Every structure is written in C-alpha cells, then in structure tokens.
Amino acid sequence: MGKSAAKVSRWCVLSMASIPLVMTLGNSMLIPVLPILEKKVGISPFQSSMVITSYSVSAVFLIPIAGYLSDRLGRKKVIIPSLILALIGGLIAGFASWKIDDPYTWIIIGRILQGIGASGAMPIILPLVGDLYKNDDEQASTCLGTIETSNTFGKALSPILGSVFAAFLWFLPFFAISVFSLISIAMIFFLVKEPEREDPVKFKVFLKNTMKTLKKEGKWLFTLFTLGFFTMLVLFSVLFYLSDILEKIHDINGIKKGFVLAIPLTVLCIVAYITGRKIKGNLPTMRKIIIVCLIVWAISVVFVGFVSKQLILLLIVTSILGMAMGAIMPVLDAIITENTKKEERGTITSFYSAARFAGVAAGPPLMSLLMKKYLNTGYITAGVLALLLLFVVIKFINVKEIEN
C-alpha cells in the first residue's frame, strides 16, 4: 500500500461512498413511484419521466463548473454546500406533494435544486479519491470500485426503498432523500480529511492546460465519456420500461415490484464490486473488460423487448445486461481518475460525470416515446450502437498511449 493510501481510513472511504449512494437513491428511488405519481397528480408518463430528467439535466450543465471549483477551492468546500441544496430540494418536492393541490411544478423545482446539489457532490468524489490515493493506482482502483459499488447498490436498493416508502405515503421518498443527504453531510464533514491543497494556478493557465489535455488525450477521453453516457442512457431506459410493464403487463405492484426491479440491479451491484476489487489499476485488463462487456451488452439488449411478456426470461436478459454494465462502470471510473493530472482531475472527471448524468436525463423520456410504437426498434438500435462503440474502443483505447 502506498504512503498516501495508508492515511485513508475505512470511515473516510465509507463517508465518500455515502454520496453516490444518497445521490443514486435520490433519483432511482423514484422510478417505482412514477406510475403512482401519474395517478395522484394526474400527469402523463412523459411528464412523470421529467421528474427524473429535471434532476439530471440541471446537474449536467453545472457539473463542469463544480469540477473546476473543486480544483480551485477544495473538494469538501464544494461537496457540503451541494448536499445542503439536495436536502432543501427534497423538502420542497415533499412538502409540495403533501400540501399543494397541483404540486407538479413545485416537484420539478425541488428536483432541479436536487440536481444542482448532485452536480457538486457525486462527481467530486472521483477526483477526491484520486487525491487521497495519488501514489497508489491499485488502492485507488479498489476504492473507486467501492464507490461504484455504492452507486450500483443504491440502484439495487432504491426500487425496494421507494416502494416501501410509497406504501406508507406516496411522496415519502422525497423527504427520505433529505434525511439521507443530512447523514451524508455529517459523515463528510467529520470523517473525510482532505489532503492539503497547493496554490491553484491562474485561471488562464488552468484553462490552457485543460484544453491541452483534452486535445492531446481527447481520443480516449471522449471515448470513455461516450461510454459513460451510453451506459446510463440504456440503464435508465430499461429501468423506466421495467417499472411500467411490471404493473401493466405482469400486474406486479407496490413493494413486490420493488423487489422484482431489484433483481437485475443486484446483479449489476455484485459484478461492479467484484470488478472494482480485481482490476487493480491494470489498463490492459480494463480494456479487455470493456470489449467483452460491449459484446455481451450488444447481444442481450436486443432481446429485452421481445421477452417482455415472459417475466422469467425478461429478468434473465436484463440481469445479463446488468452484469455487463456492472463490470464496465468501475473500469471507466478507474481509467479516467488514475490517468489525469491532479490539478485538472476535478474538471476532467466532471466532464465524464456530466456525460453520465446526460444519459440518465435522456433515458426515461426517450423510452416513454419509444415504447409506444418503436420498442423493439429502440432496443435493436441500442445493440447496434454497442457494437459501434466496440470498434471505437478497439481503435482509440490504446494502453501504451494512455500510460504515457
């Protein structure tokens, strides 16, 4: 273990892992609640998808700013105020749902505030891990695997928690997000010790260096940004679709639906954890994992629509797809975080995080439109795009070039 890694306590890692867990619950926990929201508020599936999309869209545009500020001011000085905003957004959405007759607009306002909070919290964890483990790529990969596992565990846990909370009060998940944010604020404030920061370079120099990095390393960086976007796009499209058809086709509702939704997400979580523990900063291994995952992904996603009426087959296919996504996520995190300079790490990883949030934002509304008439066409297109990305990865993810 490297010298810097030895100073990082388990409580520090746990505190950092709490942020992707909370931010993921803040979005994914609402997916099983969307059909209930449609009935209670009197809105369409497309409008309900905006509850997810508004959160992610607001984050997309502000993540690069948060990344830059974290490079200049420090990671915790950006993370903690951002978590406070997420807490306030949850209270607004929850109170509006509880007390206002037509709460949709206020729910969206609350979700936008939460998205702004998410932009300065979850994406900043990646560069913070890089700072803490700056001399030890193996331990950095392991920690990033834990962070991504926390993220995917949140996705697996969220449909269950969302369904349980909604069984008591349909708007309770909004308040729960605020409670979880408060816990994460306390953990980050007391348990994370950020390394001392060097004097930041002037903005013009920083901008010049960042542009130079993007120009020099752009081929592999933009390939990984695209992979991050595509992964979240397909994942949240499939989750939105599953949440809808489990009720409409299979008559599975409430807490039971939450547990069924959690099956492919649990597979995703387990694979993400194992992958994060095994990659150990090994670039050739990580490249091979991406290639294999894209092949599995391209084959499995095509069948989602065709098997939608057979529940067991549907869960098998989506679990195989979840396996591919679970393996690819910690690999993308590790490659980007471990191969960017510390002074630019927050900004570069923020572009990657923005791409992921853009995928989350686009997935549900896109699926709400496709599943009316073009469901199978959409999934086949996703398979073809995965194969195209496979060729892009083979061409542009060059191990020697990245290592140099």
CB 165 within 8 Å of CB 173: yes
Question: Could you read off the pLDDT of 78-126 as tens digits, one per residue?
Answer: 999 999 999 999 999 999 999 999 999 999 999 999 999 988 988 889 8
Q: What is the pLDDT of residue 7?
A: 67
Nearest of 144, 58, 107 to residue 358 by alpha carbon: 58
- Give φ, ψ of 269 to 5 degrees: -65, -45
The count of structural domains within the chain is: 1
Predicted structure pTM score: 0.81
pLDDT of the chain along its 404 residues, tens only? 344 444 688 899 999 999 989 888 888 899 888 888 999 999 998 899 899 889 888 888 888 888 888 888 889 999 999 999 999 999 999 999 999 999 999 999 999 999 999 889 888 898 898 888 877 777 888 888 888 789 888 888 988 999 999 989 999 999 999 999 999 999 999 999 888 776 666 777 777 777 887 888 889 999 999 999 999 999 999 998 998 899 889 999 888 998 999 999 999 999 998 998 888 778 999 999 999 999 999 999 999 999 999 999 999 999 999 999 999 999 999 898 888 877 777 778 888 988 998 898 899 899 988 988 899 999 999 999 999 999 999 999 988 887 76
Domain housing 298? 3-403
How far apart CA 321 and CA 332 sit, in angstroms, is 17
DSSP string, 244-295: HHHHHTT---HHHHHHHHHHHHHHHHHHHHHHHHHHTT-HHHHHHHHHHHHH
How far apart CA 22 and CA 17 sit, in angstroms, is 9
Alpha helices in 29-99 (DSSP H): 34-41, 45-73, 76-99
Q: Give the Å distances, CA to CA, from 46 to 42, 109, 163, 240, 359.
A: 12, 17, 20, 11, 16
Question: Could you read off the pLDDT of 341-377 as tens digits, one per residue?
Answer: 777 777 788 889 889 988 988 998 999 889 888 999 9
Q: What is the pLDDT of residue 1?
A: 38
Give one word for 254, left, alpha or beta, with left for phi > 0 and alpha for psi -120 to 50: left
The CB-based long-range contact list for 10-16 (8 Å cut-off, 24+ gap) reads 11/187, 11/191, 12/132, 12/191, 12/192, 12/193, 13/143, 13/146, 14/187, 14/191, 15/184, 15/187, 15/188, 15/191, 15/192, 16/125, 16/128, 16/129, 16/143, 16/147, 16/188, 16/192
CATH at residue 391: 1.20.1250.20
The encoded tokens of residue 115 equal 């998205």
Nearest of 191, 199, 27, 200 to residue 115 by alpha carbon: 27
How far apart CA 70 and CA 345 sit, in angstroms, is 9
Q: Give the Å distances, CA to CA, from 297 to 49, 173, 323, 393.
A: 24, 31, 9, 14
- Give φ, ψ of 200 to 5 degrees: -70, 150
